[in-house]
Structure 1
Amino acid sequence: MVASLAACQPSASNAVEVSQSPAGLEQVPLTVTSSTGKHRFTVEVAKTSEEQAMGLMYRNKLAPDRGMIFPFDPPRDASFWMRNTLIPLDMIFVRADGSIANIAANTVPYSEEPVPSDGPVAAVLEIAGGRSAELGIKPGDKVEW
């Protein structure tokens, strides 16, 4: 995945439990707060340009409570594609204040069509395709990690 993103800061509440994914990436807890409640995920953090370029390529499944976050610092316009991505994804574009700018739902596997943010974002969260609609996640909801 080609990405342009910015840095979301972990919430300053309690200590965050950090672990490593089978792919060797740091994984952290993430919460999306919407009108339907708090939705918790464990996400891999794609920090480096190499990790961001790989993204979720070549994975044949993604559990409903898992995902990947692509942080950017400073915030910027972002554009992703689905080259070599085998499964549909929801791409959630997150502003610097943690609010969701826009969601590209059920992106098409293997597509090289750009999927852009609606303005500068601090991060992009990728979750299994269709999960945003299932959970009632919408633009304006808050993301904390």
Structure 2
Amino acid sequence: MLRKFGLPGGAISAAVICIFTFVAMLVPSSADDRAMVLPVDPAPLVAETSAGEHSFSIEIADDPQERSAGLMFRETMDDDHGMLFVFEQTQPVGFWMKNTPLPLDLIFIGQDGRVKEIHRGEPFSEAPIASQEEIRFVLELKQGTAQRVGVKEGDLVRHPTITRVMGAG
């Protein structure tokens, strides 16, 4: 029956194998291939702690799609790198660690730039990590970073994005 169309059976089998191979190459080979990577903001984020100031390079997630994806699927991240989530208004917020292989510190920040709460996020956990207060920003860093650099509740976090929101608030 295949010869009726002028194609020998072997040619069709080879074509099918080529198509499946091509499709397989399009599928990400690792979680990092599925990770959203935003541009690093040119301005560092600075945490003012009792031990001094500490700077971080950050990506900024400031729209619903970026906030939803966050650091999901990210398998590696530099020690002094993070993601700043910016919300349109001050509100209670909730996060989870679904599809997130990196253990994270979640630093909940008020509109005034002050750290309100610090939470630990465990890899792949679907347990909610909810703020007890109204929050305007969340900074995600590698787990243990907040303790390592001395970030505590009440500390000030500075970045032009936070300053702009403070001025508009």
TM over 0.5, shorter chain? yes
Structure having the higher Rg: 2
- 1:35 lines up with 2:79 in the alignment: no
**CA deviation digits over 1:6-35, x for unaligned, max 9?**
xxxxxxxxxxxxxxxx82435241000010
3-state DSSP class of the match of 1:64?
Answer: coil
User: Could you tell me whether the CA contact under 8 Å between 1:25 and 1:46 is conserved in 2?
Assistant: no
- Separation (CA, whole Å) in 1 of partners of 2:40 and 2:111: 21
Partner of residue 30, structure 2: none
- Separation (CA, whole Å) in 2 of partners of 1:73 and 1:104: 22
Deviation at 1:39, TM superposition (A): 0.7
1:82 alignment partner, one of 87, 97, 121 = 97
3-state DSSP class of the match of 1:59?
Answer: coil
Partner of residue 151, structure 2: 137
Could you tell me which amino acid in structure 2 is paired with residue 52 of structure 1? R
Query: Aligned residues, how many?
Result: 123
User: Could you tell me whether the CA contact under 8 Å between 2:61 and 2:83 is conserved in 1?
Assistant: yes
1:112 alignment partner, one of 126, 140, 143 = 126
Root-mean-square deviation (Å):
1.3
- Separation (CA, whole Å) in 1 of partners of 2:38 and 2:89: 25
1:94 alignment partner, one of 90, 109, 122 = 109
- Separation (CA, whole Å) in 2 of partners of 1:129 and 1:24: 20
Partner of residue 8, structure 1: none
Partner of residue 16, structure 2: none
Identity %, equivalent residues? 37
Partner of residue 73, structure 1: 88
- Separation (CA, whole Å) in 2 of partners of 1:111 and 1:52: 17
Question: With structure 2 as the length reference, what TM-score do the two structures score?
Answer: 0.70
- Separation (CA, whole Å) in 1 of partners of 2:130 and 2:91: 11
Q: 1:40 and 1:26, CA in 2 relative to 1: closer, same or farther beyond 3 A?
A: closer
Question: With structure 1 as the length reference, what TM-score do the two structures score?
Answer: 0.81
Unaligned runs of 5+ in 1: 1-21
Deviation at 1:118, TM superposition (A): 2.2
Higher relative contact order by CA 8 Å / sep ≥ 6: 1 or 2? 1
- Separation (CA, whole Å) in 1 of partners of 2:40 and 2:78: 17
- Separation (CA, whole Å) in 2 of partners of 1:24 and 1:101: 25
- Separation (CA, whole Å) in 2 of partners of 1:118 and 1:92: 12
More strand as a share of residues: 1
- Separation (CA, whole Å) in 2 of partners of 1:34 and 1:79: 25
Show structure 1 runs of 4+ deviating over 6 A: none
User: Could you tell me whether the CA contact under 8 Å between 1:88 and 1:128 is conserved in 2?
Assistant: yes
